[in-house]
Structure 1
Amino acid sequence: MGDRTHTHTGAAGRAATAGGPASVRNVVLVGHSGSGKTTLVEALALTAGALNRAGRVEDGATVSDHDETEQRRHRSVQLSLVPVEWDGCKINLLDTPGYADFVGELRAGLRAADAALFVVSAAQEADAVEGVTRAVWEECAAVGMPRAVVVTHLDTARTSFEEMTRVCGRLSGHDRPDTVLPLHLPVRGPEGPDGHAPLTGLTGLLTGKVFDHSSGERREVPPSAEQRGPLQEARDRLIEGIIAESEDETLMDHYLGGGGIDVATLVGDLEKAVARGSFHPVLAAAPPAGDARQGIGTVELLDLVTRGFPSPAERALPAVTTPDGTPRPAPVPDAGAPLVAEVVKTSSDPYVGRLSLVRVFSGTLRPDDTVHVCGRGLDGPGGGTRPRHEADVRVGALSTPFGGQQRPVDRCVAGDLACVSKLGGAETGDTLSDGGDPLLMEPWSLPDPLLPLAVRAHGKADEDRLSQALARLVAEDPTMRLEQNEDTHQVVLWCMGEAHTDMALERLRSRYGVRVDAEPHRVPLRETFASRTVGRGRNVKQSGGHGQYAVCEIEVEPLPPGTGVEFVDKVVGGSVPRQYVASVEKGVRAQAARGVATGHPLVDVRVTLLDGKSHSVDSSDAAFQTAGALALREAAADTRVQLLEPVAEVGVLVPDDYVGAVMSDLAGRRGRLVGTEQVDAERTLVRAEVPEIEIGRYTVDLRSLTHGTGRFDRAYARHEPMPPQLADRLREAGRNDAKSG
């Protein structure tokens, strides 16, 4: 595997069309920000002949052409697809963002792929690499996705391939480090003045062949005498690791007995172990230098992908149901089977409009086909939702992306990916199926967005376009939720982090032409009475014409949390006519919804109507509604009105090293520790109840506190009384805002 010399040209896509799913490889590149994923994709495309020596496609665009947000921020923020051809296979390289805020793009890449390349930088600190990579590694392990590791930036001073291999070995657990082993050892040239020896080539551990790139071309040379010792030690360990994963149980006895095993048998067992996800080879890679077409390790990587990674036909497909939830047989990865496909990404192109990146799991998708689009509803934090939707839609043009180009294709077969234009209102995560037999695929896992961004239109023109722009933004990004908060009257975008919010604001402005202003997010507070009190509402106006006459007396008493507002009628003798009792209740409830002290809804009280007066001519429904509201306000003036704040149940999953810091931080946020739970050998789940006003930015703060290794979830628990001193500060701030307004 990887010891051949190749020269490849030709357009990706012909192999997939000719050979169907068996000739497709879908590979997602994952790794921490700055690990070199995009550079590696370009190097692989150059080696495969998809780029010229200047790193450009035919129209002069580069494979890494990004949208306007990426160009300004010099950071990948979206999933990109680069198809190349190698050894008769179409390889769909899915480049994902490394920044944690864009986990939705990462999950989309994992859904579309059948194998993963973990790209790690030797220039990064080992703890940072392991912490960021572990969560995705475990996610792939849970579904049995094949994985390999690529170590980059070995040309940087004081880097160690061996150390990074040990770090990656810990990802598989302390009991299975020998499932993450190198296939090749890097070859370094003479040390420079800084003491650093540059990377010049690779040595294949199974074949012993050395491929040297020091001349600018990849050529085979014999191993030197000083290379043979480390080579043999690493080779023995690799062979033992391969044999341990072999399905042939006699190999280990044969090997331990001193018998030799031929390279072809080892390579065959290696490829099988990689394909089923039980062995994870480590390779080194460096981009081409100068005018060279082949970078160090790029041929070896492409060989690994085509020979070691499974085709779509070898992978289990996600479960499907009917739109009403009835289970159906699993789809078949065959081009002639009924259509089952999924929108894994939605984007907007300035020339062709909305583009949907679709993975076809079963059947064949063609232009002008009529398909059934089905999307499930999703509940989000704070009431944010995505409504369920279904429609029959006619498919527009199909294309495959490459840099700034969209290359037309006449069909997309099972296992392949393509961009579809004008796919109606399809959103990311929607299922495409035959109209006569609509299906819905099992959704992929997505974390809840937990950082709120409250926005308002900058001007009248922006206000007219804001709703549509926000709807399109949320349809493109499944990790973003839109909430119209009825309590605070704010429009809230729930995002994954600060970079995610910055991207949302920038895209609203640059892509949709909408200017918005961000404002502080307000949590929905409540009011309640601290003690029993009474109030009298007198609405008497008789200054000529038809007057108003209504008087009511009420008693208000606090109730247990979660009770709401109760209304009790205890009027005797008809002092308030029966037809007006409901009017008093309506006025009381309307005033409770508006609040009686700070403008927040009043809850957890019982209002009892005791007495009142009426007039045979001037009493009316409206008059008694007003009297009921006045009575409630008067009652509030004679007692202390307590502010209630929402409290969330919070679960924080962190490495054991950060448990103390997290618990101290939660205590500083007025949190109450509920308990801790050991999740595995190295991580603990900390459970606490924390006021929501204290965790508005906890996503950002936790990432900083734990160096990106911690994550949390939250759920509304109840409203509780706010400390008096804090409530007084909020009341004062509200009065100041009212004066300034």
Structure 2
Amino acid sequence: MKVYEGKDVRNLAVVGHGKCGKTSLVAAMLYTAGVTSRLTSVDEGNTITDFDEEEIERKVTISTGVAFLEWKKRKVNLLDTPGFNIFMNDTKLSMVAADAALVVVDAAAGVEVQTEKVWQFAEEYQLPRALVINKLDRENTSFDRALGSIHEVFGRQAVPIQLPLGSEKDFRGVIDLITMKAYQYTPGGQGKGEPVEIPGDLVAAAEKAHEQLVEMVAEGKDELMEEFFEQGTLSPERLLEGLQEAIRERRLYPVLCSSATLNIGTDLILDFIVDHFPRATDRGQVWGKVGEQEVSRRVADDEPASIYVFKTMADPFAGRVSYFKVMSGVVKNDANLQNSRTDVVERLAHIGCPRGKEIVPVTELHAGDIGVVAKLKDTLTGDTLYDRSAPIAYPKVKLPEPSIAYAITPKTRQDEDRMGMAIQKILEEDPSLRFYRDPQTKEFLLAGSGQQQVEVVVSKLNKRYGVQVELRAPKIPYRETIRATAEAHGRHKKQTGGHGQFGDCKIRMSPLPRGQGFEFVNNIFGGAIPKQFIPAVEKGILEAAEEGFLAGYPVVDFKVELYDGAYHEVDSSELSFKLAARKAFRLAMQQAQPALLEPIMNVEIHVPAEFAGDIMGDINSRRGRVTGMDVKGNMQIIRAQVPMAEMLTYQNDLTSMTQARGSFTMEFSHYDFVPPHIAEKIIAQARAAREGAAEEEE
């Protein structure tokens, strides 16, 4: 394969709301550029960038697909990103490798929830943008209505550089407002337009849109403004030059037209990408750290080599596949680079350019280009690899913590043995997932951004690794405690043939402040209980506390004082005192006003301002307490403390309340008392479950 210099490379993230046609547009571009021999489609499940089994089955992009094409002697790297909320973290991780973003908008739906979210990501990464109004051939679509939606959300800086020829089923081409030429296409054809005259009924609209474009371009620069006032317009050369500058400075966001499934407008979109979007080396310099010191690198071939890994794929056959961007220098085949996180030196054997699941071999990659390599030993998403003579670590993308967790249990012993390793490989692919064991409930939990993301993991475990698991809502890690002080006398006495059993202890139990756990005080004087049996008393109390008293949940935040007892020279033993202590503990619990505790979570919710009132009302209905509010742009940030038991279905509820425009994170804060009427139900359920289990054993 031909080696391209950074100045001839364009890195483009294709982003937008789910089902707006991103994958279809990428498929159309690949076909028009001659990469595929036919126009592939999502419905047929044969697109280059949606190659995973789950993506083909569900007909949605779950993980970013990367593919390159060659157009006008330039190389274009396309990142086909997910568009649904629960897979948005993958989009954010991948956009770090892009130098521009093509925002796809459905001509019928206009700007949708995730369109706004990916726009925010592009703002965060300071990416130049253009918008494509897609699906203009469908029923009930309107270019003007979609453009109005874009203006309403993103402002007047979104300026059309094309108008559609025809509408709905008669959509057949586009008018280029820069050159004032029209192009007509064969539906489902090669994607290359035939120049035609602008139809008479569209000349006035095209001239008006051209004037508006000229005005918008001239507004941003004094010398262009002067030329515009003197001549009343700008020459095509000056218009082109001014537009390119406005795009790269993120002052204007051009709007284009297409029908990806009919392959209309594709060649003009490719021309636009190559002619107007920044070259991979135009970023100038990138920043990283060496220890705590900030350092910079130019995106240039004469700098020391460094790469940033933005995506990892676990292939059952090829092993770990790492997608990377060359941040500086030239990376050659068989290069040895050091990992900034692990200090391990990795050999990049058989580097290539990604085209879906295919790796096209290449001898070297220049600064700004995107590549892929298999079988790196200890490199994960977010890692930096560098030439050992010039260390650097580029900042990792920060992702929100998972908002929903499910208990996961293997179906068979064989599944249990293989589950850990299989999940570990999936976690390498998706850093937004978490897998851990709850130390309190002893359950294995799989946490993600939403139910569908976790279900995809379960499906992958089965199809890819042959591991079958079951999902269910996690248990709430309730606790028990006491509210009052109590004294109790526990005696264990058993006489059989030979040695008997005898243990006798008196304890005083009192509550401790929340979070203090357990405290044991030995106040035995005069040898009422020999020293060697004291640890057995403590152990007996701890074991009884672990089993709980009210509902089988561990007892916490209490102090036990051992102040008296008795022993027998022959019959006393550690076991006897342990059993005596358990009896004393249960007797003391009866008098100490036992109560149930529940985990309270710190919750942070991000919603558009118009939903803030509904959200706060909902928090109150969940026994929550709002602790603070902030405003960030047009988003309201609500902070609250809510019982964990009330948050198990919150992901789905928030989605329906905010039309999928809200998101939230939560983490554990503290334990607090469960209200009596709720505690009664929990205790009754726990007792019924224990009785049921006891009957089964019988």
TM-score where L is the length of structure 2: 0.92
1:240 aligns with 2:215: yes
Deviation per CA, 1:429-457, whole angstroms, max 9, x where unpaired?
A: 22222356554321112121111121111
Pair 1:131-2:104 in alignment = no
Taking the TM superposition and a 5 Å limit, the aligned residue runs for 1:725-736 are: 725-736=677-688
Match of residue 555 from structure 1: 508
Question: Is contact 1:145–1:276 with CA below 8 Å preserved after alignment?
Answer: no
Q: Tell me if 1:156 matches 2:138.
A: yes
Which of residues 225, 239, 250 in structure 2 aligns to 1:252? Answer: 225
Q: SS of the counterpart of 1:63? A: coil
Structure 1 residues 541, 22: CA separation in 2 closer, same or farther (over 3 Å shift)?
farther
TM-superposed deviation, 1:547: 5.3
Equivalent position amino acid for 2:223 in 1: T
Q: CA deviation at 1:22?
A: 1.4
Q: Equivalences for 1:311-460 in 2 at 5 Å?
A: 311-315=279-283, 319-322=287-290, 325-375=291-341, 389=342, 391-435=344-388, 439-460=392-413
For residue 110 of structure 1, the aligned residue among 95, 114, 134 is 95
**Aligned twin of 2:177:** 205
CA shift, 1:282, in A, is: 0.7
User: What is the rounded CA distance, in whole Å, between the counterparts of 1:208 and 1:73 in structure 2?
Assistant: 42
Q: What letter matches 2:203 in structure 1?
A: R
- For 2:488 and 2:553, the matched residues in 1 are separated by 20
Matches of 1:590 and 1:706 in 2, distance apart? Answer: 47
For 2:673, which of 710, 721, 731 is the aligned residue? 721
Q: CA deviation at 1:41?
A: 0.4
The one-character-per-residue Cα deviations of 1:652-690 (angstroms, maximum 9, x if unpaired) are 22123222322232222222233443433x432223221
**8 Å Cα contact 1:31-1:37 kept in structure 2:** yes
Matches within 5 A, 1:74-153: 74-124=59-109, 126=110, 129-153=111-135
Please state how far the C-alpha of 1:35 moved relative to its aligned partner: 0.3
The structural deviation recorded for 1:184 is 0.9
1:269-308 equivalences under 5 Å are: 269-287=242-260, 289=262, 295-308=263-276
Post-superposition offset of 1:152 = 0.5
Task: Note the C-alpha offset of 1:403.
Answer: 4.1
Partners of 2:34 and 2:433 lie apart in 1 by: 38
Decide which of 255, 274, 277 is 1:309's aligned counterpart. 277
SS across alignment from 2:409: strand
Aligned to 1:3: none
**Distance in 1 of aligned mates of 2:419 and 2:95:** 32
2-side partners of 1:327 and 1:318: how far apart? 14
- Distance (Å, rounded) in 2 between the aligned partners of 1:437 and 1:609: 64
Distance in 1 separating the partners of 2:622 and 2:93: 34
Number of aligned residue pairs: give it: 687
Equivalent-residue separation in structure 2 for 1:705 and 1:420 (angstroms)? 43
| Partner secondary structure for residue 604 of structure 2 | strand
Superposed displacement of residue 261, structure 1: 2.1
Q: Distance in 2 between matches of 1:526 and 1:416?
A: 54
Letter matched to residue 149 of structure 1? L
Distance in 2 (CA, whole Å) between partners of 1:514 and 1:117 is 38
Distance 1:344 1:638, change over 3 A: same
The CA RMSD over aligned residues, in Å, is 2.5
Unaligned runs of 5+ in 2: 694-698
1:527 alignment counterpart: 480
The CA deviation at 1:102 is: 0.8
Aligned counterpart for 1:179 among listed residues 152, 157, 182: 157
Q: Aligned partners of 1:260, 1:103: CA distance in 2, in Å?
A: 43
Deviations 1:326-348 (Å, cap 9, x if unpaired)? 32422332234323222222223
Partner of 1:265: 238
Match of 1:489 in 2: 442
Bigger shift: residues 527-536 or 392-401: 392-401
Amino acid at match of 2:548: G
Task: Give the conservation status (yes or no) of the 8 Å contact 2:193–2:267.
Answer: no
Closer/same/farther in 2, CA of residues 339 and 624 from structure 1, 3 Å limit: farther
Tell me the distance in 2 between the aligned counterparts of 1:317 and 1:599: 60
- The amino acid that maps onto 1:228 is V
| Residue among 11, 14, 19 paired with 1:29 | 14
1:292 aligns to what?
Answer: none
* 8 Å Cα contact 1:107-1:445 kept in structure 2: no
State the distance in 1 between where 2:343 and 2:651 align. Answer: 34
Distance (Å, rounded) in 1 between the aligned partners of 2:598 and 2:560? 22
The 3 A distance-change label for structure 1 pair 634 and 339 is farther
Pair 442,666 (structure 1): closer, same or farther in 2 beyond 3 Å: same
Equivalent residue for 1:228, pick from 203, 210, 226 = 203
Question: Which residue is 2:457 aligned to?
Answer: 504
Matched, 1:585 2:518: no
Does the CA-based 8 Å contact 1:331-1:340 persist in structure 2?
no
Q: CA, structure 1 residues 433+593, in 2 after alignment: closer, same or farther (shift >3 Å)? A: farther
Change in CA separation of 1:615 and 1:666 when aligned onto 2, cut-off 3 Å: same
Deviates more, 1:432-441 or 1:260-269: 432-441
| Structure 2 residue aligned with 1:703 | 655
d(CA) in 1 for partners of 2:285, 2:657: 38
Q: Does 1:638 align with 2:578?
A: no
What aligned pairs does 1:41-52 form with structure 2 within 5 A after superposition?
A: 41-52=26-37
* Residue identity matched to 2:506: E
Partner residue, 1:473: 426
Over residues 543-569 of structure 1, what are the superposed CA-to-partner deviations in whole Å (9 max), with x where a residue is unaligned?
A: 455655432211112233223222333
Deviation at 1:280, TM superposition (A): 0.8
Contact 1:318 1:442 in 2 (8 A): no
More divergent stretch after superposition (662-671 vs 545-554): 545-554
Distance in structure 2 (CA, Å) of the matches to 1:581 and 1:732: 35
Note closer, same or farther for the CA distance 1:426–1:208 as it changes in structure 2 (3 Å cut). Answer: same
Contact 1:61 1:404 in 2 (8 A): no
Q: Which of 204, 215, 218 is the aligned partner of 2:193?
A: 218
- Secondary structure of 2:615's partner? helix
Q: 1:360 to 1:627 in 2, by over 3 A?
A: farther
Aligned to 1:608: 561
Match of 2:12, SS state, is: strand
Gap regions ≥5 residues in structure 1: 1-12, 190-195, 290-294, 376-388
Q: How does 1:531-550 map to 2 (within 5 A)?
A: 531-541=484-494, 543=496, 548-550=501-503
**Per the alignment, in what secondary structure is the counterpart of residue 506 of structure 1?**
helix
1:495 counterpart letter in structure 2: G
Q: Deviations over 1:560-616 (max 9, x none)?
A: 322322233333444234554444334433433443333322222222222222344
Aligned to 2:696: none
| Equivalent position amino acid for 2:48 in 1 | V
**Equivalence for 1:188:** 166
Secondary structure at 1:591 match in 2:
helix
Mapped partners of 2:141, 2:39: distance in 1: 28
Cα contact 1:566–1:607 (8 A) shared by 2: yes
